[in-house]
Every structure is written in C-alpha cells, then in structure tokens.
Structure 1
Amino acid sequence: MMRVISAGVALATLLAAMPAAAQDDNGDGGKSRGRDRKVAIAPYIELSQVLTADVQSGDVLTYSSAAAGVDASVETRRVSVNLSARYEHQFAWDKNSGDADVVTGLANAQVRVARGLSLDAGGIATRSRNDIRGAAPVFFGNDRDNVSNVYSGYVGPTLTTGSGPIAINAAYRFAYTKVTEPGPTGVAPGSPRLDYFDDSKTQIATASVGFKSGTVAPFGLTASGGWTRDDQSQLGNRFDDLYGRVDAVMPLSANIAVVGGVGYEKLTSSARDPLLDSAGVPVTDSRGRFVTDPNSPRRIAYQTDGIYWDAGVVWRPSPRTALEAHVGRRYGSWSYTGSLSYAPTRSVGVQVGVYDTVETFGSQLQRSLRGLPAQFTATRDLLAQQFSGCTFGTTGGSAAGACMNSVFQSVSTATYRSRGVDAVVSLTRGSSTLGFGAGYSNRKFYAPNSPGVVIIGTSDESYYAQLFYSTSIGQHTSFNADLFANYFDSGLAPGIYSLGATGSVSRSFGRLGTTVSLGAYTFSQKGQEDQTTAQALLGARYQF
C-alpha cells in the first residue's frame, strides 16, 4: 500500500509542477502565454461496476471500483509533457477475492533548459505476467493469477551541440523499476520455482562525436561509446556493459549508402547464490523471493570481452522512407539488426525494428519505454491491456507507435540475449484511428551455475499481435475496439495460447460521461484445462 501511495504522491507532484512550468517557460512572466503554447489537462473521477463470468465453471464474480486520474498534454517552447495516469481501488464483492489498489499510467516529459540541453523524464505503471510458464490472463482487472504490478521511471539530461560540421551528443539516464510479487501462477505442482523480480536501479550513459558525409570528407564518421549498469536487489544481480565503437557511412548515390562499424565491448553479468535448506531447495521469503546466501561468492552469469563489428546498407529514397539493415558478429555469433520507417502522409505511419542485444528486464524496459511515441493514444477501455501491449501514436507519420509485449511476456531476474522483430502500423483519418502491431521475441537466459537455479541455458519465445480501432459516432459518442493474440513458449513447460477481444462505447453529457465495455478472453495450455472468461463493465466519469 505504501508503494501505491508513493506513486500517487509522485504523480500529484508532477501535475502540480506542470502548469507553473508551462506559464513561466518564455521567461516573461506569462505575457506571451497565448503564443506557441498548448495546454490540455483533464483530471477526472470515475465509478465502475465490473462483472466477470468463468465460462468453464459458470462462476460469476463482480467488483466495484473508484478511480481518479488525469490525461494531460503540455506543449510550449520549453516544456513538453504527455501524461495519462490513473489510480483505482477495487472493492471485491466475493469472499474469495480481496480489495486491490491499481496504478496505471504512461508519461514522458522534456524541459529544454538551454540551447541544446534538455532534461528528460518518463515513466510507466502497468500490470504484467510474471512466470512465463503460468497463467496468461489478458484482462488485468481483478484477476491476480500470475499478475504483477510494474512501476518504472527514468530521468536525465540530454546534450545536442557541435561546432561547424562536428556534431556532439551525450545523454545520461537513471531509472528505477519495481515489480510486485504475483498471485498464484497456475504452474503445475512440483515444478521448480523461478525467482521473482523485486527492484532494480539502471544507469545508461551514451556519447558520440562525428560529422556527416560531404562536410569534412566524402564519407561520414562517428565515434561513440556507452555504459549500462543494472543493479538488482535479488541475489545481488549486477549487469555492467561498457563499449566504444567507430562507424563510417559512404554514400553510393543520393539514396543509398553503405555503413560499417567496429567496436570493443566488455560486458559482465554476475550474481550470488540463493540460500539452500537441508534438502538443497532455495529458501524463499514471505513474498516468494529467493534469500541470498550471505557466504556466497559472486558468480559470473555471462561475460564477453572483445571486438565486435557490423556492416550494412541505408536506403532513403525520400524524407518519408528510411530502411537500414545490418549484419555482423557480436556475442560470439552472427547478429542481425535493422529498421524501417515509412510515413507516406502525416496520418499514416509504419515502423519496423529488428533487434539483438544482451540485457536485463530493467534495461530492456527502459529501452522500450524511450521508444514509445511522445504523443500516444490513451484508451478508455479499462478491460484491455493498459500500456503492456502496443501503444499507438495520435498523429501517425513517423511516430506510429511501439509494442511492449516483448518486455512484458514475463518478468525475469536473469540476464538474457533478446532477439526479435516488432512492427507497428498507425492510420488516422479525421476522428478515427486504426493501429496494428505484431512481433516475435526470443530470449536466451544466462545465470550462474548455482544450486536451485533452473533457468540457466533455457530459452523462451513469444508471438503477439494486436489490432486497435477508435472512432467518433456523432459529436458526443465514441467507440473503441481491441483484438489481441499471444503465444508463449518457455522451454520449461508446454506453450500457451491466449486470445482476447474488447469493445466499448462512451457517451458524454457535458462533463459527465458513461462507458459500457464488453470483453472475452481465453488461454489454453496442453495438459491443463482451458480458461475462458467474459467481462462486462458499466462506468461513469466526471471530468473537471
């Protein structure tokens, strides 16, 4: 409960600071307040009634919720803030279910301190699956099976400057991530226990200096370096990655260039042993997390120290299209990365990314969070995934959106090599928005060869797709729909399929609005009974 209160206090502080920052951003005491300034802050309170029906058993459960939240957008010469935040208390009507506090939200902010220097911050609060072998709920309402609350935020400066043709860039981010323990995971009895993530502190620093082709020389050249440090409270997990590299770009024509880079990287991941009982089983605390053996030495989970390289091609036939593909050697094997960005109009956007990196849950979450669009669509459909799936931009174009599914397919304390592809398409026409996201993710886990640690050397993978549609029906009515499908395979248990669909209609009567939502989802795993659930929500919102 204290964590929820802390999150609420942090959000309230941010909201209190926004109007003042927006008013003073021009340094004239607000005299130019009407110019280059867009501020929209919409706080609200909401009451809802939710009914849940288990199709297999016929059980019908219901709960009530009271919520307070805010949707805000601030755009001025010096301040940019986009925020959707919500605190909800759920009142259970069934004796087998308890009350719950839920915080969901997504935020990003930038304050331009001086020319070329800004302070950036962002955060996310959502709910996620925890154990990839277990239950796969799609609606994260009052269902706590294998569900954890995830809170994460970052802050740090960004510098963009230079002299003549020389460009200099640098950035630093400090991030904190907290994950609560899940409810019953639904994993088969007798299965080995996986450790539960607690919290981590992540530091990321990057810097580069270089020049474009055709300025100093016919080719472009950039020297860059970076450092990532992730410290987890669980088993003293420590991830330390330091690299430096040089990249060259040689244009072959007005639209095509070849690129290549070579670098040096030193990466070490380590942890301590769990404390074992007399039977050789890891000891857990009251929240199900491993207890660290105080006499354990630090053991290496993964280590690389040496040269890596990649080469590729860049194709930019127009300002609206960019394609980049790389192949190289890294982490002791072949590595493939790339990206595609296509924005034929301001209302249509396509983004595809292929990635390959060794990271932790905390560092992957931060990488994905910074890749989300600055202006995003916040859905009124409370039965759907709230920021744990795909998030779509509000304007299409080059900010089509991004998917967080690869991050939230499960939560792990181990270091892993993450490889996959994400694709997002966003289309905006008048008051209608259509978004489609899909992807594939594979993770290979690295952990010390310690007694009781079973995840070492295993892999998991997931496939996912989501379709989102939103439109206005007349002046006061809107309709939202979400379809999503997922497949999870842990390598430790049979694969799990999950499907879900939601739809909602909202009607406004001035400051008062009502919402009706319907949804259904199912997940299936070999050897276990399928679970199919239908839900309905009736809510009323008052916007101040």
Structure 2
Amino acid sequence: METRAMVRTMHRSLLLALALLAPLPALAQDAAEPEAVRGSRVDVQPYIEAAQVLTAELSPGDDVLTYTQLAAGVDAMIAGRNSAASASLRYERRIGYGEVSDGDTITGIARGSLALVPRRLTFEAGALASQVRVESGGATSLGGFDADDSSTSQIYSLYAGPTLQTNVDDLLVTGAYRIGYTRVEAPDAVVLTPGDEPVDLFDDSVTQQATIRAGFAPGTVLPVGVGVGAGWNRQDVSNLDQRIDDRHVRADVTVPVSRTLALVGGVGYEEVEVSSRDAVRDTDGIPVIGSDGRLVTDESSPRVIAYETDGLIWDAGIMWRPSRRTSLQAMVGRRYGSTTYTGSFSYAPNPRTSLNIGVYDNLTGFGGVLADNLSNLPTEFEAVRNMLTGDLGACVASLEGNTCALGSFGSLRSAVFRSRGVTASLSRSNGRTSYGIAGGYDRRAYIAAAGTALEAVDGIVDENVWLGAYAGHQLDRRSGIGANAYVNWFDSGFDSTGTGMGYSASLSYNREIIAGLSGTAAVGLDGVARDELPDYSNASALVGLRYSF
C-alpha cells in the first residue's frame, strides 16, 4: 500500500480504534477460554456528565465567561491470563453563552496486549487523542484554557504490531514490528512575537519499526551469552515529504560477573539517511504556505539529503538485577556519528510502589515520539484527567512501566530531530490514597536539508523540562478528593521566542448522591508565562453531576 493511502486509511480508523481497543482482548480471550479464568478482571464503566463551568481570565484581560459542558465516556480495565488492556475515552459537547462558542472535543488514551500464542506471539496496540496549547515557537503546554482559545491543537496517534519470543532448543529468537500514525490538527491561530514568521507545524506521519534477534543465554552453549540482530526505523513525515531511513545489524555478548551483575556490549554496522523535498515557490522564490498554515510540498522537486552517516556502531555497559524488584541497565556507545548514552532503572520495593527512570537518545520525528510513548505505557492503568476540562493529564495512574505519555510532547515543529533526554516517574497506591509524580528533560536538535524551505531550522535546538503530578484520596465510602498538576519550561532556539512556562492545576471533590449518581465540584488555574509576549492566566470553577452505568 502506498504511504499516502495508508495515511488516509489509518486516519479514518483512529477514533474507532480508541473506542474498541479495550474490549478487543477480552472478546478474544472469551473465544479461547469459555470458562472464567481465575484472577481475571473486567471493569468497564460507561458514564454521562452534565456540568456548568465558570472561567475568569486573570491576565492579560479580565473576561468572565460561562458555558455548559455535556459529556459521555467510558473507562475500562481488562486483565486476563493472556490479555490486558486499559482505555479511557471521552466525548464532550460545549454549549456556550455570550462570547463562548459551541464546540466538540474527543480525548482518550488506550493500550492493549493480546497473546495470540501464549508466551510466544503477542499483538499490541495503543491510541491517543489529546489537546495542547501551541506557542509561537512550536512549544506545547497541557491544561485547560479559555474555552475559545484559538491556539489549541488536537493531536491523534495510534500504533499496532506483533511481538515474537520463542525458543528453538537453546536458541532464543525475538522479534517485533510496529506501525504507527500520528496527526496534528492546525490551530486556528498562534500568538506571535511582532516580526516573527509562523513555524511549520507537524501535519501527519507514518512510522515503522522492526527488530529481530537470535542468541544463546549465558551458560547454555557457552559460558557467555552471544547473539546477532538487526533493526529498521522508517518514518515518513508529510511536511516536505521528510523521511528517516535507519538500518543496522549488530552482534552482542553478555559476560556474567556474578549472579546479579553482567557486562554487556555489542558492535555492528549502521546506515542512516534523512531526506526531504522542497516547498512549492512563487515567482519571487518565496515558499508557498497552504490554507492550513503549512508549507506546500513540491512533489516534483528532487529528494535532498539532510543528513547521512554509515559505519561502525558499538555500545558497552552493565546489567544489574539484584532481585525481581530492582533492575538497572546503563550503556555508552557510538551511534548516529557521535557518542550516545542510554539506560533504565526500575525499583519496586513493594507491590504498592514503583520507581522508573529512563535515559534515551533517538533520531526521530514528532510521530515517532508519540508511538514510543504509547508503546511504553503499561497495559493496566487509570487515566488522570483535568476535572475542569476533561482533558488528559501528563500521566496515568499505574504501578508499572513508564506512566507518562503526554508529559514529553515538546515542540510541534515538523522537522525531524535528534532527541536526547531523561524521564523519571514515581507511583504509589496505599489503601485510600494514591499518588504519582514524574518529570523529564528533552533536548531536540533539528535536522533539515540545505536549499529547502526548512533550511533555517537545521541545527536549531529546543529544550523542554516538565513536571507532572496527581493524587487521589478516598475520604469515606461515598466521597473523595483528587488533584493533578503539570508545568513545563520551554526554551526555543529562536531568540525572538525566548523562554516560557506553561502550567495547569486542578482540585476536585466528588460525592455519591445515590447509587450511580455523583456530584462534583472543582477549581483550577492554568496559563502561560512568556518572555516576549504577554502572560496568560485563567481561573475556572465547575459544578456538575455524573451518572455511571
């Protein structure tokens, strides 16, 4: 199938995938196991809501607005012997009064895993629909903003693919393939610094990744473990037909030092190419911008190389696993033509606490970032939402894996980039109380071809530091309180854009009135503080009812 046809097909399927992802593994499990499985869990909670929201702009203006919020959604968590999935899907209708216009919003997050062949072949999938505020340099912020904020953009992403793990005698064979699609809707308007030109915002992309490896564990054929593998990363970005094509082969060795510690390393060969086309230009040679505010690709122009490298790659490091609750991997090596550092640490001192840290270094685009974030989510989680707007928070509530898929959105620039950074998350659930905190740092160095409309972007660096937190406490059998907050500091490579900070926080109280019917009261504060533009801040309050079926 051609890439553009694939894009159209996946775009039409996205919202359907969000709605159906959670029930799918359960249906497959029922077909394979007609009798109930001990330890299985099915929790599907549809609901409808009605609320009245009051918003007061604190700066730069002082408008006070109100609107009615009607919503329907479902929260689901399904776990069985051979499948697991979680999803949160919400449709919201806003009915405005005065200066507030009517509007519709769909938000959701889902992640599922189905064992087609138990312990050997697994099919995984994930999907996301979310909203962000877009700054002039392309930086994003989460949070509930003015109901008519024209700088808000809708983001959709989904991925799916199989994972294989099997043995041929002592030979362990593993493999995986993943295809993903991401789309960003252009905001109606972005507030610019005087004299600034709008950046080319990401439109859509198709990402594909494939890996395969065969090897022997230490102590089977040899005292050390050995293996060979290969990998492929292909990303097709619609903006100027950008393309990442990354292929490598690699041999690795694992040398046990003790029962809990091993030295690991590998060496291989890699070919990487980043290319694009130019934009359509008018008679004066100025790039043409389409009705959606993005550069128009000249499909007849030749493909131009923006970055390429090939040659030896290597890495070396340690693996430490003193218990089932603790694991560490730290690596240093050479890839993409320079030194690279990667690693991970996980610690679960008890079933109620989980700490995870990751260090990454990737060549990717915005769509690749979302596909990676979705695939790293756990399959069992509870979505954390802003009670004022219904939007998703930076993290989900879970005691396993990387829980923050939205915290590291970063910039919506269309150009591909070298991404380096670190993320960390801590989650805890203890009786009536659960909470989590996460943060990260992301540095993106953009890559663009000389002579194209994106040439000026080449070498520009964006940096983003973010922090997200949530907490919930059950006061008694019928009532509880919840809170969530998010803040990110962004520093764009464009001097005129400067630095800024986006933030959002909300606090809610809910109480069951009768079986299935509960009342909610919430307050929130959100905004953006910027160096070169006026600050924006907004306070909101909500009262509403929810009926859960």
Q: TM-score range by the shorter chain?
A: over 0.9
Other structure's SS at 1:296 match: coil
Is the CA contact 2:21–2:126 (under 8 Å) kept in the aligned structure 1? no
Residue equivalent to 1:177:
182
Is the CA contact 2:73–2:90 (under 8 Å) kept in the aligned structure 1? yes
Q: How far did 1:422 drift?
A: 0.4
The 5-angstrom pairing of residues 241-320 of structure 1 reads 241-320=246-325
The 5-angstrom pairing of residues 392-411 of structure 1 reads 392-393=397-398, 396=399, 398-399=400-401, 401-406=403-408, 408-411=409-412
Q: 2:337 aligns with which of 308, 312, 332?
A: 332
Residue equivalent to 2:491:
489
Cα distance in 1 between the residues matched to 2:224 and 2:404 = 32
Q: How far did 1:10 drift?
A: 4.1
For each residue in 1:382-404, what CA deviation from the matched residue of structure 2 results, as whole angstroms up to 9, or x when unmatched? 347844623331xx2x4362353
Is the CA contact 2:140–2:411 (under 8 Å) kept in the aligned structure 1? no
Residue 59 of structure 2 is aligned to residue 70 of structure 1: no
Q: 1:58 aligns with which of 47, 59, 62?
A: 62
Q: How far did 1:131 drift?
A: 4.6
Is the CA contact 2:153–2:184 (under 8 Å) kept in the aligned structure 1? yes
Residue equivalent to 1:133:
137
Change (3 A) 1:498 1:223: same
Change (3 A) 1:22 1:88: farther
Cα distance in 1 between the residues matched to 2:419 and 2:283 = 36
Is the CA contact 1:201–1:232 (under 8 Å) kept in the aligned structure 2? yes
Residue equivalent to 1:354:
359
Residue 109 of structure 2 is aligned to residue 106 of structure 1: yes
TM-score by length of 2: 0.91
Change (3 A) 1:143 1:462: farther
Q: How far did 1:372 drift?
A: 1.2
Change (3 A) 1:164 1:7: closer
Q: How far did 1:87 drift?
A: 1.3
Change (3 A) 1:420 1:539: same
Is the CA contact 1:129–1:411 (under 8 Å) kept in the aligned structure 2? no
Is the CA contact 1:243–1:265 (under 8 Å) kept in the aligned structure 2? yes
What letter is aligned with 2:42? V
Is the CA contact 2:139–2:492 (under 8 Å) kept in the aligned structure 1? no
Cα distance in 2 between the residues matched to 1:168 and 1:535 = 54
Residue equivalent to 1:429:
430
Q: How far did 1:25 drift?
A: 3.0
Q: 1:23 aligns with which of 3, 26, 30?
A: 30
The 5-angstrom pairing of residues 111-260 of structure 1 reads 111-115=114-118, 116-131=120-135, 133=137, 137-140=141-144, 142=147, 144-260=149-265
Change (3 A) 1:200 1:23: same
The 5-angstrom pairing of residues 360-379 of structure 1 reads 360-379=365-384
What letter is aligned with 2:458? I
Q: How far did 1:152 drift?
A: 1.1
Cα distance in 2 between the residues matched to 1:3 and 1:297 = 27
For each residue in 1:188-221, what CA deviation from the matched residue of structure 2 results, as whole angstroms up to 9, or x when unmatched? 1321232122211111111111122122212112
Change (3 A) 1:135 1:52: farther
Give structure 2 stretches of 5+ with no counterpart: 1-8
Residue equivalent to 2:51:
48
Residue equivalent to 1:37:
40
What letter is aligned with 2:114? V
What letter is aligned with 1:526? D
What letter is aligned with 2:478? H
Cα distance in 2 between the residues matched to 1:131 and 1:265 = 36
Other structure's SS at 1:363 match: helix
Q: How far did 1:526 drift?
A: 1.4
Is the CA contact 1:25–1:79 (under 8 Å) kept in the aligned structure 2? no
Q: How far did 1:14 drift?
A: 4.6
TM-score by length of 1: 0.92
Residue 509 of structure 2 is aligned to residue 505 of structure 1: yes
Q: How far did 1:281 drift?
A: 3.1
Q: How far did 1:8 drift?
A: 4.6
Change (3 A) 1:265 1:434: same
Is the CA contact 1:311–1:326 (under 8 Å) kept in the aligned structure 2? yes
Q: How far did 1:144 drift?
A: 3.5
For each residue in 1:284-309, what CA deviation from the matched residue of structure 2 results, as whole angstroms up to 9, or x when unmatched? 22111111124321111221211111
Residue equivalent to 1:345:
350
Change (3 A) 1:328 1:384: farther
Cα distance in 2 between the residues matched to 1:11 and 1:198 = 20
Change (3 A) 1:52 1:320: same
Change (3 A) 1:263 1:46: same
Other structure's SS at 1:405 match: coil
Other structure's SS at 1:379 match: strand
Is the CA contact 2:387–2:508 (under 8 Å) kept in the aligned structure 1? no
Cα distance in 2 between the residues matched to 1:143 and 1:458 = 32
Cα distance in 2 between the residues matched to 1:137 and 1:339 = 26
Change (3 A) 1:328 1:136: closer
Change (3 A) 1:132 1:333: farther
Change (3 A) 1:36 1:314: closer
Residue 528 of structure 2 is aligned to residue 527 of structure 1: no
Other structure's SS at 1:534 match: strand
Q: 2:476 aligns with which of 474, 477, 483?
A: 474
Task: Provide the identity percentage.
Answer: 38
Is the CA contact 2:136–2:192 (under 8 Å) kept in the aligned structure 1? no
Cα distance in 2 between the residues matched to 1:455 and 1:135 = 14
Q: How far did 1:133 drift?
A: 2.1
What letter is aligned with 1:423? A
What letter is aligned with 1:162? N
Q: How far did 1:319 drift?
A: 1.9
Cα distance in 2 between the residues matched to 1:444 and 1:400 = 24
